Amino acid sequence: MAESESHDRKGDAVTRDGTPWIEERLALPSLDYAIPSAANRWMYMLGGLTASFIVVLVLTGIYMGQFYNPTPTGAHDSVLYLITRAPLGDWVRSLHYWSAGAVVLTVTMHLIYVFWRRSYRKPREVTWWAGVAMAALLFLLLVTGTALRYDQEGFEALAHFVAGGNLTGAIGAFFTEGFTRSTTLLSRIFSLHTSVLPFALFGLMALHFWLIRHLGIHAEPGETSVFRRHAMRLGSVSLLAFALVGLLALFVPEGLGYPPVGGVEMTKPMWPVLWVYGLENLLGAWGMVLGPAVIFGFLALVPLADRSDGGRQIVAWVGAAIGLAVLALSLFAAFGPTQQHIGM
């Protein structure tokens, strides 16, 4: 009798104080489904860690949005206001900056590991495509976020949007000043960064999680664990990573450049975008269009190409070549001189 009561989560009789009420109301027992114990390894938690940092980015972004003025006349001053006057503004902004860097790191490692393990194969092609699309959205979020600083670096990022928009005609019309006279490009980039791209990202995250829940992760059959344990472990790692990033934001705060002046290119972008800068050094403005198109296009084709031994070899070699090229271009951009790319 006592034994049966102690395990009856649905009945009125419960044996432990507190926990059953919460478990019942939040349906926590449904988290106790079996998953491969490999899910608790570090490399399998990179996707979850990325999601955790995205939560930090959303929260800090909402806070910063209360102080930001997305107009060319007010943007730079409002960022300075955020840093110098808004309560915790400097720390929250730096937290946003470092979390963005952390997301780039975790999502890249996640992508490389999934690619390495060929986890994109049947039946997980759509899981992979959703992941690649999310990586592309995160890249766009990074560059649109840079433009919002509206210092010299931000202004040059904005000018690159315009140049890219002009190069690609109707496809890139949104990024040109001529798209509408009713508002400024900076306001539209702000809207893109704070609503359009995050909404698209959340939709894809929902799809990605749904597919992982129902198709499972790609791991060798063996020992099993329960999802609740994985969620707690991920929560633990995420909180510790957040504490680390919080310390970084405190002791290495993000800076801000001087108000922008048009007609010159004198800054280099944030490190995750350096490879595009390097490509622009070689190809001019087309580099910023062709580089991302080639990489994300290749990643999209991977599940279709890797369907035979020959296909597998090609995908592996092209993937390795692209990885090395990104690394080389980043170094080339980091250590080379600043160059004019878009003829400002």
Our finding on whether 41 is near other proteins (CB under 8 A) is: no
Count, residues in the chain: 344
For 195, which DSSP code? I
* Contact predicate 303/251, CB 8 Å: no
Q: Candidates 68-76, 162-170, 192-200, 321-329 — which segment interacts with other proteins by CB under 8 A?
A: 68-76
DSSP conformation letters of 25-56: HTTGGGG--EEEGGGGSGGGGHHHHHHHHHHH
Which residue stretch of 65-73, 181-189, 206-214, 296-304 sits at the interface with other proteins (rule: CB under 8 A)? 65-73
**Least spacing, CB of residue 129 vs other proteins, in Å:** 32
Cβ closest to other proteins, residue 222 vs residue 258: 258
- The answer to the question of residue 227 lying near other proteins (CB under 8 A) is no
CA distance 206 to 73: 38
256 scored as a contact of other proteins (CB under 8 A):
yes
Q: Which stretch binds other proteins (CB under 8 A): 107-115, 211-219, 238-246, 327-335?
A: 238-246
Residues in binding contact with other proteins, number by CB under 8 A: 61
Q: Which of 162, 197, 226, 290 touches other proteins by CB under 8 A?
A: 226
**Nearest Cα residue to 248 out of 109, 120, 95, 113:** 95
Kindly indicate which of the ranges 102-110, 133-141, 150-158, 321-329 contains the residues binding other proteins, using the contact rule CB under 8 A.
150-158
172 lies in the site for other proteins, by CB under 8 A? no
Based on the number of CB atoms within 10 Å of its own CB, is 193 exposed (0-12), middle (13-18) or buried (19 or more)? Answer: buried
Contact between 80 and other proteins by CB under 8 A: the answer reads: yes
The Cα 216–Cα 156 span in angstroms is: 43
For other proteins, the closer of residues 76 and 193 by Cβ is: 76
Distance, C-alpha 135 to centroid of its chain: 6
In this structure, which amino acid lies at residue 284?
G
- How buried is 22 (Cβ within 10 angstroms: 0-12 exposed, 13-18 middle, 19+ buried)? exposed
Q: Is 17 in the site for other proteins (CB under 8 A)?
A: yes
Q: What is the contact mask toward other proteins in residues 309 to 338, using x (rule: CB under 8 A)?
A: -----------------------------x
- Specify the stretch interacting with other proteins by CB under 8 A; choose among 114-122, 163-171, 258-266, 314-322: 258-266
Asked if residue 28 lies in contact with residue 22, where contact means CB atoms within 8 angstroms, the answer is: yes
Sign for the CA dihedral angle at 194, 71, 259, 329 comes to positive
Q: Nearest CA to 79 among 69, 71, 88?
A: 69
We find the least distance from the C-beta atom of residue 188 to other proteins, in angstroms, to be 18
65, 123, 178, 259: residue in contact with other proteins (rule CB under 8 A):
259
CA distance 236 to 241: 9
Residue 37 touches other proteins, criterion: CB under 8 A: no
- Residue 45: CB atoms within 10 A of its CB come to 19
Query: Pick from 9, 26, 41, 84: which binds other proteins (CB under 8 A)?
Result: 84
Which residue is it, tokens 């990074």?
142
Which residues are near other proteins by CB under 8 A? 1-2, 5-6, 12-18, 20-21, 69, 71, 73-74, 76-78, 80-81, 83-85, 87-88, 90-91, 151-153, 226, 228-229, 232-233, 235-240, 242-243, 246-247, 250, 253, 255-261, 263-264, 266-267, 338
